[in-house]
Structure formats: structure tokens, C-alpha cells
Amino acid sequence: MTTWIAIAVTAAGCYLVKLLGLSVPAAALERPAVRRLAALLPVALLAALTALQTVDDGGAPVLDARAAGVAAAGVALLLRAPFLAVVAVAVAVTAGVRAIGG
């Protein structure tokens, strides 16, 4: 029963956040700083999530094949590779390191 209460509270919270977003005046959303923040914030959050999932293993920091894949993806990005190539490089390096490591 507790799970259903948590789901209901979460759903209500999401609805209220969406309603709050719809009530923001259009003039506030047209400011350059707000537009810049709206463009960069999702990228920053995704990068933080990726970094956390890469080096965190249940509360203890760890460097494994995932870190090698992310590093390889970073190098591919620095070389201005297309997005699909970056993903392919990350997958290949991660799989290779896992295959070598056991």
C-alpha cells in the first residue's frame, strides 16, 4: 500500500510542477538568460547522471569498463566525431575492456 501512496504523491507532484510551468508568463520565458538556461540545463543534468552512473557502484566510487567507455566517447567528441560514432566508440571500448577483464 505504501508503494501506491508514493506513486500517487509523485504523480500529483509531477502534475503540479507541470501546472506551475504552464502558469509562467511568456515574457519571463523570452529572456535570453532563461533561454540559455533551458538549452543547457538538460545537457548538464544528463552529463551529471552519466558521470554518476559511471563511477558510482552502490555508494562506493569505482573505475571500470564504463569509465573507459566514457573517456573514449570524450576523445571522440574532442575529435568532432558524429553522435552515432561517439556512441559506437563508447560501446566498443566498454565491451572491449569488459572482454579483456573477464
Res 102: pLDDT: 53
Could you give the CA distance from residue 19 to residue 96 in angstroms, rounded to a whole number?
Answer: 47
Residue 71 reports pLDDT greater than 60? yes
Mean pLDDT of 69-89: 95
Could you give the CA distance from residue 102 to residue 69 in angstroms, rounded to a whole number?
Answer: 16
The per-residue pLDDT for range 11-57, each reduced to its tens digit, is 999 999 999 988 989 888 899 999 999 899 999 999 898 888 888 87
The CA–CA distances, whole Å, from 98 to 52, 62, 67, 91 equal 19, 14, 11, 11
Residue 93 reports pLDDT greater than 60? yes
Q: HSE (CB half, 13 Å, CA atoms) of 61?
A: 1
The answer to whether the CB of 70 falls within 8 A of the CB of 50 is: yes
In the predicted model, what is the mean pLDDT of the chain?
Answer: 91
Could you give the CA distance from residue 31 to residue 17 in angstroms, rounded to a whole number?
Answer: 21
